[in-house]
Amino acid sequence: MFILPTLPNVDKIYEILSYASYSTTAFVFVSFAVASCKNAGVLKPAEGMSFITMLKDINPADLCPTCKVIRSARSRHCSICNTCVERFDHHCPWINNCVGAGNHNAFLTFLFAIWIKIVFHAAADIYAGYNFIENQPTKCDEDDGECELVCV
């Protein structure tokens, strides 16, 4: 198959590993698309109120002068996206999006998908390497029973 080209025998287990690899790859791509495209929880400006009016009525520490919005306790302004995000965690360069209240679960799903992909391929590589070594031809000396690995 395409995933494990160095293996001498392609049997049912390698077919299953190939389909599992395709499935985990699809899981990573879909979770990436959802995490990067989902709104992080961008705060919207208040309708019908000017920023000067908000400064008079609301504590200035609760206002973002750049976005001209009322911030909640855990919202922060992202200097990369230039928006205020509800429950701001961080701006992730891998998904090119802020991680906030709106996409936090999608981001964790993306991290889980990558972790599953790495663990799966590490296990598949160990299995493939073991089978590769076990299936190597050997040259045995009939007199003393010693065998040596023959490189093909």
Which residue among the candidates 78, 84, 92, 98 is catalytic per the annotation? 92
DSSP state string for 125-141 = HHHHHHHHHHTS-EEE-
φ, ψ of residue 86 in degrees (nearest 5): -70, 135
**Residue 148's CB: how many other CB atoms inside 10 A?**
9
Q: Is 147 a catalytic residue?
A: no
User: What are the catalytic residues?
Assistant: 92
